[in-house]
Amino acid sequence: MAASSAPATAATQPSEPRLIGTWYLVSYELQNGDGGTLHPLGRHPQGQIMYDKAGNMSCHLLNPDPPARPTDASNGAAYEARISYDRYSSYYGPYEVDLATRTVHHHVVGSLMPGWAGT
């Protein structure tokens, strides 16, 4: 994710025709400090990201395998809220394509994770 937005130049465009549309998540993993691989959204995550011609994107990520519901039903609403937050992530904002480095920079305007806004 980019920390600031920059004006579009010949090398940086708000959109790229081959990128426009809806893309589906194939895998999602993180590398930890000691070389291990983490799967924060499970082994079979789902997700999609949409890019439009005007330079806007929207991303949705989901772990489709929720944990087993505890037998104690006294925490119903709180439990549902917690597993929803743990299983799902989304964010949106403008994006830029750097043709020279073949990278896409997302400028997060809003997100389920409040700390991501502005990054």
The pLDDT value recorded for residue 47 is: 96
The pLDDT value recorded for residue 52 is: 93
Structural contact between residues 90 and 61, judged by C-beta atoms closer than 8 angstroms:
yes
What predicted TM-score, i.e. pTM, was given to this entire model? 0.74
Sign of CA dihedral 92, 97, 101, 103: positive
Token couple for 93: 């904002």
Phi, psi (rounded to 5 degrees) for 110? -140, 150
Q: How many CA atoms lie within 13 A of 45 on its CB side?
A: 21
119 residues of the chain, pLDDT tens digit each = 333 334 444 445 666 778 899 999 999 888 888 889 998 888 999 999 999 999 999 999 999 987 776 666 566 788 778 888 888 999 999 999 998 898 999 999 999 988 999 99
Q: How far apart are the first and last CA of the chain?
A: 6
Per-residue DSSP letter, 116? G
Alpha-carbon gap, residue 69 to 83, rounded angstroms: 10
Domain coordinates in residue numbering, the chain: 12-114
The pLDDT value recorded for residue 111 is: 95
> % helix / strand / coil in the chain, to the nearest 5?
15, 35, 50
